[in-house]
Amino acid sequence: MAPQPKPGMGSSGFEGRQGKEELGAAGGRGEAARDCSPAKAGDGANNNKTARNGDEEQHQNPAKKARVSVRARCDTPTMNDGCQWRKYGQKIAKGNPCPRAYYRCTVGPSCPVRKQVQRCADDMSILITTYEGNHNHPLPMSATTMASTTSAAASMLLSGSSSSSSTAAVPGNLHGLNMYVSDNNNNMNSISSTSPSYPTITLDLTSTNNNNILNTSSSPPHSSSSQFAPASSLNFGAASEPATWGLHNGAGILNYGIGNVGRSGNAAHYRMSGPAAGPSSSSSHHNQSMLADSTMVAAATKAITADPSFQSALAAALTSIIGKNNNSSGKVVTSSSRGGGDQPSYLMNVKASGDANTAPSSTTSLSRTGSLSHHGQSAAGSGLVFQAPSSSSSSSSPHSYSMPAFTAAARDASTSPSEDN
């Protein structure tokens, strides 16, 4: 059955014609998802089908026109991460009306690196990007730069260092869990100056460490560990401290306390506990305050605080990828408090059993359903990227964050200024 030709093909909004994100990010048509109205090819029934953006609309609109509207519906913009990607598929994943786009690295002839981009079902303004694999080729300068800058940011965040060592070559490996907080305002390669800044947080699950556990609950990182010895965990928020983000690891605790900060991002304080402190022994926190005195830290802070619901969004984002209420053994139970009334309990089971020593292409299972896997570590920006909207009220001002890092090709119309083609 030959697939019948359909209208509505053509360039994808954000990728831009070139399909190269470097350009797409900048020059993309700016057709980013306006609204993720369930293009629902079928959240259940037809889920097997490739995502069709705005199906209904399609068969009503002839080719070109449809193309635009289709794109406007719910596409999956990607961030400019310095690499070149080619889209090879798109699909609606269960539980998220927004399609997930699949990209392949085209920098190298047979580069195994892939990435998935999907909007967070909970907060459409959040973009989730998952990288898989190792590049088998030298990275473009832009990607390299990107990697190092984000890494530096991560390092700083986690180490508490306030230096601006943006040249840190070492990945922001948070004891195995990489977290990048960045701003997209500034960047390599033709990042569009027209795009507002999009604070971005990247969680790198493909760290060189074997065992990473993400934790968004108040419970301490479990060490139900025989199976998944939690080398580290990221804790962003107990029910009692909905706005506290932190990192737990065997060696200590680092919390990003954004307490009750408002949307505009008040100063965050960082508390770090010494190695002696158990992963959850909050009492032993040293509460060593660190001033957000570097631009990077400040940027990170803002990125985190830009959206009050970021926590839930992040949890949701993770959940959307990893699975919800998946209470398997030895994994971390997470809870996320949404702004709304109920507080769905997200059980995020993240196990990065990757081995840094494995061959680049060796598959590493990341989650229980096999829905996600990675193949070691990708040099540039491996991991999940959560893109928070810039503070909605200030989205029109490409301001504030000066931390060099990822550039978001994505934009969310609902939070972004009007942009005409």
Partner DNA sequence: CGGCTTTGACCGGCGC
Partner DNA sequence: GCGCCGGTCAAAGCCG
Do residues 184 and 395 lie in contact, with contact meaning Cβ atoms separated by under 8 Å?
no
Do residues 53 and 74 lie in contact, with contact meaning Cβ atoms separated by under 8 Å?
yes
Residues sharing a CB contact under 8 Å with residue 176, sequence separation 6 or more, in sequence order = 207, 208, 209, 210, 211, 212, 231, 232, 249, 352
- Residue 370 CB-density burial (10 A; 0-12 exposed, 13-18 middle, 19+ buried): exposed
Rounded to 5 degrees, what are φ and ψ at 102? -115, 130
Nearer to DNA, 26 or 299 (CB): 26
Q: Which amino acid type is present at position 386? A: F
Work out how close the CB of 398 gets to DNA at its nearest, in angstroms, rounded to a whole number. Answer: 24
Six-digit token string for 201 = 């947080």
Work out how close the CB of 228 gets to DNA at its nearest, in angstroms, rounded to a whole number. Answer: 15
Work out how close the CB of 53 gets to DNA at its nearest, in angstroms, rounded to a whole number. Answer: 5
Nearer to DNA, 131 or 310 (CB): 131
Nearer to DNA, 118 or 165 (CB): 118
Nearer to DNA, 94 or 286 (CB): 94
How far apart CA 399 and CA 199 sit, in angstroms, is: 11
Nearer to DNA, 93 or 258 (CB): 93
Work out how close the CB of 110 gets to DNA at its nearest, in angstroms, rounded to a whole number. Answer: 11
Candidates 372, 418, 406; CA nearest to 127 is 406
Nearer to DNA, 76 or 149 (CB): 76
Work out how close the CB of 31 gets to DNA at its nearest, in angstroms, rounded to a whole number. Answer: 9
**Cα–Cα separations (whole angstroms), residue 376 to 65, 358, 373:** 42, 7, 9
Contacting positions for DNA (CB under 7 A): 1-13, 15, 17-20, 24, 41, 44-45, 47-53, 55, 58, 63-64, 67, 70-71, 75, 84-95, 100-102, 106, 114, 116, 368-372
Work out how close the CB of 1 gets to DNA at its nearest, in angstroms, rounded to a whole number. Answer: 5
